[in-house]
Structure 1
Amino acid sequence: MNRFRVKKVAVLGAGVMGAQIAAHLVNVKVPVVLFDLPAREGLKNGIVAKAVEGLKKLKPAPLGVAEDAALIQQANYEEHLDLLGECDLVIEAIAERMDWKLDLYRRMAPALAPHAIVASNTSGLSITRLAEALPEAIRPRFCGIHFFNPPRYMYLVELIAAPATLPQVLDDLETFVVRGLGKGVVRAKDTPNFIANRVGIAGMLATMREVENFGLSYDVVDDLTGKKLGRASSGTFRTADVVGLDTLAHVIRTLQDNLDADADPFYPSFGTPAVLQALLEMGHLGQKSKAGFYKKVGRDILRFELDSRTYVPGGQKADEVYGRMLRKPAAERLRLLRHAEGPQGRFLWAILRNSFHYAAVHLAAIAETARDVDFAMRWGFGMQQGPFELWQEAGWLQVAQWIQEDIDAGRALSTAPLPAWVFQGPVAQAGGVHTPEGSWNPTSGRFEPRRLLPVHQRQLFPEAVLGSGAPRWDSAGHTLHEDKTIRLWTLDGQVLIASIKTKMHAISPELCEGLQQAVETAEQQFTGLVIWSGDEPFSVGADLQALLPAFMAVGVAAVEDAEGFMQQTMLRLRYASVPVVSAIRGMALGGGCELALYSQRRVAAMESYIGLVEVGVGLVPGAGGLAYIARRAAELQARTAHKDLLPFLTDGFSAAAMAKVGTSALESRKLGYLLDSDVIVPNKDELLHVTIAEARSMAESGWRAPLRRLFPVAGRSGKATIQGQLVNLRDGGFISPHDFRIASLIAHVVTGGDVDAGTLVSEEYLMTLERQAFCELVQHPKTQERILGMLSTGKPVRN
């Protein structure tokens, strides 16, 4: 079997996108060489070197670990084109100029490996025209690949075939992008701006037009079009600022330059909005220039006002009545908005109607199926539902009738009628475009199932569109036990899965009972135990809100009992006779971090955020986190000839005392929360498959639980050294007296308390010190202020 492997990638162009694509390739351990023009002065690789250095400073960080920037090989077109022959995939990502791209293709073509796939990262230029610049022998291996910015975080990648592109090439590239880069792939047709930007930018332009029609302010619109509408929390205008108004203008120009009224009946609404033109003329490009639709002055957020071309105080919110409307079920929600009398309600109906209308009219031209449109808008624009999903959920034919009535009455953006398939035939009979048989393809006139490559079979419960009837993880498999906190189930009869059901997967005494039951069941009936909860977060830690009533009624003894039971649960996981593997996705904080640490192995999605954060609420880790830090330091020291334990303890102490959180699985490994033996998975939807495979592999290879053993601690001398540094921080005003007290207690636990350096202790001994420190702090008024502040506002209190 001929298996396409990507052993090395070349990225051509060290601009914003090219450099960040290279960074993400490094994140997933793919060797990459980054090219750009030779510098006119200094080192020939100066342009690339500057771009690579800039990656370390960008926010959000394109690199999982900043120092991995050194792994990007630097090159220029004058000296290093021969390096292309070593690359299995070449991604061109230079500026969106057709003439520049075509010139580069002519130069690079002779140097390409005969098997290499060549892909252009363009946001909307014609893939067909680009292919024409390549020799005929290369065209079957050429296609478009459209990453969304920022490439590390945005899940969507669009693949676009040219006329000569071989189907196997697209399949091979999709396999690499899904598994190797951790992305969701949608295949788009070769039309201007492809799918997501075509629908999304048309939607933004339509929204701007409706804002003018209804006279709403930008901050009110962002409040309405953010989370309340099931879209990205930044709403419309804040999103534009983040993307960059110059970038937005470029994408708009692509629509303007490549379409006309004959090709797109919505073309008259593609004019550059007056407010956008004004901001561009003023050089206000959004977040990158610190001014756009919004401008931050001190702590105040100002919004732009077009009439005066000045910034005025912002922060206005939408009327609460519309917030309540948007929480209603879809059918009732759209009915209320359709008949709303206030401008905010009529605005909301208008933008939803416009999105449904545009998607339906253009579906056949831009995508194979309605599924592609909905996934593209979810993954590329942060929507909880795509336009077709919401339309179908609200009642397909009723909503279609309302849209057509608005079209006939001249209230819509275009007079183009809805396509005939909306009202008659299979879609009308099925009540929508998504069915268990597949999603509607207007070109073939059939419901077509999702493309299933072998790589997709690793996604046991992938994202699915509403109406597809895809199996749900929370009801799949065979259930052995289920209560309000946990479900114990299996897919294969060999590995038991424990899925946490509490809010934010918080850890309570009841959940600990369920976890202990999971270990007992796994030991009796299964070869391994996997902790996987289907969605984010992995766990935000202990359920402090549930502990407060017991603390108020019984006192600190109730807290000590709960902490002791959590510690027992962690040790039960660590010393289970079958492998216990945690599948981590999203946040694993506080007790959630400890749950992962006491599992015998961890499989983490790339975007996992792991850390002991109890200091933020005035506490210390109390479920074994500090005992883990002390034990881990002893294990690291034992592998060396060093006799001083303290250097191996310092990083762990600092991470806990400063509540450091790894902002990627890679950084979490650097902080010690993941080990070299743990697995990092690029694609979140492969997490369960890999974790089950890991548990099976451990069992089949004869894995046995670690033996309980004593280990040395740094003792009172180590504590004194740490304490001296803390005194300097306190006296220098860098930490508060209460922070000093918390950090001192952490130092007391991780060094083993009042014992000599090198004293051998057990995990249980250190956990006793943990409980004592935790209970002392939970009674402190300043800690109670922090806990109540966090529970009421979600933000840490500094006191």
Structure 2
Amino acid sequence: MSRFQVRKVAVLGAGVMGAQIAAHLVNVKVPVVLFDLPAKEGPKNGIVTKAVEGLKKLKPAPLGVPENAALIQQANYEEHLELLKDCDLIIEAIAERMDWKLDLYTKIAPFVAPHAIVASNTSGLSITKLSEVLPEEIKPRFCGIHFFNPPRYMYLVELINTPTTRPEVIDQLESFVTTAVGKGVVRANDTPNFVANRVGIAGMMATMIEAEKFGLSVDVVDDLTGKKLGRASSGTFRTADVVGLDTMAHVVKTMQDNLKDDPFYSTYATPKVLAGLIEKGALGQKAGAGFYKKVGKDIQRLDFATGEYVAGGKKADEIVARMLKKPAADRIKLLRESTNPQAQFLWSILRDSFHYVAVHLDTVADTAREIDFAMRWGFGSQQGPFELWQAAGWKQVAEWVKADIDAGKTLSSAPLPAWVFEGPVAENGGVHSKDGSWSAAEGKFKPRAKLPVYERQAFPESLVGEGAVEPLKAGTEEFKNEEVRVWSLDGDVLIASISAKLHLISPTVTEGLLKAVEIAEAKYKGLVIWSPDDVFSAGANLEALMPVFMTKGAKGIAPEEKKLQDMMLRIRYANVPVVAAMRGLALGGGCELAVHCARRVAHMESYVGLVEVGVGLIPGGGGLTYIARRAAEMASAGNANADIFAFLKDGFTNAATAKVATSALEARKLGYLLDSDVIVPNKDELLFVASAQVKAMADSGYRPPLKATFPVAGRSGIATVKAQLANMRDGGFISQHDFHLASLIADVVCGGEVEAGALVTEEYLMALERKHFCSLLEHPKTQERIMGMLQTGKPVRN
């Protein structure tokens, strides 16, 4: 790992981006001081204070928990420049005005520490020009850093060097941004709009041109260019509205001003419809109108012909939608040969993207890898343009693009570069190979960066053509059934990966996890439960139990439920540490699985909660037992005579309202993660950190907790809860069935009909869970909720 230590970061500029960058830094425990101009009236830090308060209200939330806003140190340029001397990294994020930035650099230069890195978060201004005003001693430590909005959620960060930037400075910053901040880094050349915005905005402009040519409306274009095409669900025009039409126009103007020799220059002209919307102040989502406008509950679209808003919601033709489900080679061929205008439009925009990236690869990026990752991470594409081209058949697609260029159908008459048709790329069948990705500037395949930080990523994101080993086919396999693979990479740590859809926990998964524990105890230091995607587990598989329920009713479910509970206890009391490596959804049974592990290692973006009431059930895999046990543990830790009910209220409320933590930080606040658990910023380092935790625990002489009884709140606790619930029901805040569900949850977490302080076991509480869970399965209101969820994916309120 790099020795560059970032003890504190300064962010200059408390605008939308600066404040959110500061927010994400405190999310990942990096101390940060946020600067802006002194306020003309009131406290001098007024501008920053207003920005920090605004962070608590923004959606999607930039902060993992709102109270972390207090961790952002507030400062202004008049009083606090001395604070910069303690900062190892200074990120400038003021408005995109060259003169303002240069003036600020002059002001801060005397206060920059001798070792500190200074980086500009610009989306397109020349980093080299910005560096020219800096003192000679700062220039080697200056570069560009471009976060995408919103910084917490967007994985891409572009780093841009200047001719005077020391190589080790970029290496140090890349290591920090990858591991500590949790981002995917792409190194960009210092060209207008860098990589993602250059290619992405050019693609959006091309899409608008082709949409007009084929006479397609904005809603149809968005349906065609969204998930169906393997891109962000917002499509093209909706994305423009979300980004802000003025922001988009600013990026386009950078291209207009600086790319006059570009063979695609004519496509950078601001479309009349875009200029007209901006002139009217219809700047997209933030202004309430853009290409779309919300009227009541309806979303209307702009009609290009009249300039008025009309009813929206039109979809792609079914025949075209079916084409888009085909493998890449078949898909592209069908689109190109179809006479359907929508299919012709799609071929045109794909051809335009292939043409554009091939012509610009030698100047925009070091290799094709940077372009493909930039489009994945910055624009939400499942595949970058080079990947799709390669997957569809490099030579054939190249010939089709050339034919269109020759026929004058393309947006530019620039020919495809010679390397497309001859030499290493043609021989390899594309720009990505086992030896690396193609560098047009250097005329060779270049391997990935070998920075130590990347040694922590066992399975980094791979590209088509690289020949990377799939995680679920890697290592040494110890056991496998239809829904679980048990395997090891190093012979020390065993890994259990759930492969079922949404990693739902079925009897087959239960069997696989039990087998994993058995093998781990016999041969390994411990077990990590990890899967290589954005779901830990979305809960129990209700559909898998339907046949049993249909033939035997709730009585048939009870034994299956007990097996699930026994598996949870088997994991909790395993003789080796079991660590849950959590990422994305950990809901219902997934949450219960995690809380029964010896430790949890969670990615920042983990969404955790007990959500069973949404389908008319209560947690039945030990989740309520966990809440009761934790309340007893917390009460005894503070005071042997403490009131258990005081520690129980939040856990009960979270389960009764199906509250889901919207970050790992909030999951810790809700009690699903403990202070001893680890939160990891980068998703690709999750397995490494979880495995390291297993080894450390094992090497420290890990022993499972001893089975013990613990006190519960008893019938008095139940009575207190039910009295409050009755008021909510009678006031119309909850339904009768909600009251029933919450009463059953209270019965379990309080220990049933026993005295306050009575000692119980986990098995006793799990029996209560099981009893109530099975009784609910036969309740008509619960059956309505289950069927509604299975049919629509949305909870039924009854």
TM-score by length of 2: 0.99
CA–CA separation in structure 2 for the residues paired with 1:293 and 1:711: 60
> Which runs of structure 2 are paired with 1:62-141 in the superposition (5 Å)?
62-141=62-141
Q: Tell me what 1:623 maps to.
A: 621
Q: Tell me what 1:576 maps to.
A: 574
SS at match of 1:795: coil
Return the offset for 1:444.
1.2
AA aligned to 1:83 is L
Q: Tell me what 1:31 maps to.
A: 31
CA–CA separation in structure 1 for the residues paired with 2:278 and 2:156: 28
Instruction: Map Cα deviations across residues 238-268 of structure 1 (whole Å, 9 max, x no partner).
Output: 11111111111111111111110x2x10000
Answer with 190-199 or 722-731: which moved more. 722-731
- One of 446, 463, 472 as aligned partner of 2:444: 446
Q: Tell me what 2:7 maps to.
A: 7
- One of 349, 352, 356 as aligned partner of 2:350: 352
Instruction: Map Cα deviations across residues 31-77 of structure 1 (whole Å, 9 max, x no partner).
Output: 00000000000010000000000000000000000000000000000
1:549 aligns with 2:547: yes
Return the offset for 1:782.
1.1
Return the offset for 1:599.
0.6
Return the offset for 1:547.
1.1
AA aligned to 2:599 is R
CA–CA separation in structure 2 for the residues paired with 1:342 and 1:309: 26
Instruction: Map Cα deviations across residues 396-430 of structure 1 (whole Å, 9 max, x no partner).
Output: 01000000111111110000000000001110011
AA aligned to 2:420 is V
Return the offset for 1:781.
1.0
SS at match of 2:133: coil
Q: Tell me what 2:182 maps to.
A: 182
AA aligned to 1:367 is A
> Which runs of structure 2 are paired with 1:754-769 in the superposition (5 Å)?
754-769=753-768
CA–CA separation in structure 1 for the residues paired with 2:493 and 2:259: 55
How many equivalent pairs are there?
Answer: 797
CA–CA separation in structure 2 for the residues paired with 1:654 and 1:257: 57
CA–CA separation in structure 2 for the residues paired with 1:469 and 1:95: 43
Q: Tell me what 1:594 maps to.
A: 592
Return the offset for 1:559.
1.4
- One of 423, 426, 430 as aligned partner of 2:424: 426
SS at match of 1:474: helix
> Which runs of structure 2 are paired with 1:56-455 in the superposition (5 Å)?
56-260=56-260, 262=261, 264-455=262-453
CA–CA separation in structure 1 for the residues paired with 2:671 and 2:748: 18
AA aligned to 1:585 is R
CA–CA separation in structure 2 for the residues paired with 1:273 and 1:790: 44
Instruction: Map Cα deviations across residues 462-517 of structure 1 (whole Å, 9 max, x no partner).
Output: 00111001222111110011111111111111111111111110000111011111
Instruction: Map Cα deviations across residues 651-700 of structure 1 (whole Å, 9 max, x no partner).
Output: 00000000010100000000000000000000000000000000000000
Return the offset for 1:308.
2.4
Answer with 136-145 or 247-256: which moved more. 247-256
Q: Tell me what 1:663 maps to.
A: 662
Answer with 769-778 or 23-32: which moved more. 769-778
AA aligned to 2:730 is D
CA–CA separation in structure 1 for the residues paired with 2:288 and 2:557: 47
> Which runs of structure 2 are paired with 1:382-781 in the superposition (5 Å)?
382-641=380-639, 642-781=641-780
CA–CA separation in structure 2 for the residues paired with 1:552 and 1:470: 44
SS at match of 1:538: strand
AA aligned to 2:780 is P
Instruction: Map Cα deviations across residues 534-577 of structure 1 (whole Å, 9 max, x no partner).
Output: 11200011001111121011111121111111000000000000
Cα contact 2:481–2:508 (8 A) shared by 1: no
SS at match of 1:272: coil
AA aligned to 1:735 is I
SS at match of 2:75: strand
Instruction: Map Cα deviations across residues 720-769 of structure 1 (whole Å, 9 max, x no partner).
Output: 11111101111111111111111111011100011110000000000011
AA aligned to 1:392 is Q
AA aligned to 1:630 is A
SS at match of 1:661: coil
SS at match of 2:471: coil
AA aligned to 2:606 is S
SS at match of 1:212: helix
AA aligned to 1:752 is G
SS at match of 1:639: helix
CA–CA separation in structure 2 for the residues paired with 1:298 and 1:632: 46
CA–CA separation in structure 2 for the residues paired with 1:279 and 1:305: 12
Instruction: Map Cα deviations across residues 141-165 of structure 1 (whole Å, 9 max, x no partner).
Output: 0000000000000000000001100
Cα contact 2:2–2:172 (8 A) shared by 1: no
Answer with 615-624 or 269-278: which moved more. 269-278
- Percent identity of the aligned residues? 70
CA–CA separation in structure 2 for the residues paired with 1:305 and 1:536: 38
Give 5+ residue unaligned stretches, structure 1: none
Cα contact 2:606–2:664 (8 A) shared by 1: yes
Cα contact 2:495–2:528 (8 A) shared by 1: yes
Q: Tell me what 1:790 maps to.
A: 789
Cα contact 2:2–2:452 (8 A) shared by 1: no
Cα contact 2:614–2:795 (8 A) shared by 1: yes
CA–CA separation in structure 1 for the residues paired with 2:665 and 2:2: 32
Return the offset for 1:207.
0.3
CA–CA separation in structure 2 for the residues paired with 1:347 and 1:469: 32
Instruction: Map Cα deviations across residues 351-373 of structure 1 (whole Å, 9 max, x no partner).
Output: 00000000000001010000010
CA–CA separation in structure 2 for the residues paired with 1:632 and 1:240: 47
SS at match of 2:30: coil
CA–CA separation in structure 1 for the residues paired with 2:273 and 2:770: 59
Answer with 483-492 or 566-575: which moved more. 483-492
CA–CA separation in structure 1 for the residues paired with 2:787 and 2:547: 13
CA–CA separation in structure 2 for the residues paired with 1:721 and 1:246: 55
Q: Tell me what 1:44 maps to.
A: 44
CA–CA separation in structure 1 for the residues paired with 2:246 and 2:340: 33
Cα contact 2:538–2:590 (8 A) shared by 1: yes
AA aligned to 1:130 is L
CA–CA separation in structure 1 for the residues paired with 2:578 and 2:38: 52
Give 5+ residue unaligned stretches, structure 2: none
TM-score by length of 1: 0.99
AA aligned to 1:711 is F
CA–CA separation in structure 2 for the residues paired with 1:777 and 1:297: 41
Instruction: Map Cα deviations across residues 258-309 of structure 1 (whole Å, 9 max, x no partner).
Output: 110x2x1000010111221121112111111121111122221111123322
SS at match of 1:584: strand
AA aligned to 1:678 is D
Instruction: Map Cα deviations across residues 89-118 of structure 1 (whole Å, 9 max, x no partner).
Output: 000000000000000000000110000000
CA–CA separation in structure 2 for the residues paired with 1:272 and 1:721: 65
Return the offset for 1:2.
8.1
CA–CA separation in structure 1 for the residues paired with 2:679 and 2:765: 30
Cα contact 2:558–2:770 (8 A) shared by 1: yes
Cα contact 2:580–2:690 (8 A) shared by 1: yes
SS at match of 2:204: helix
AA aligned to 1:155 is Y
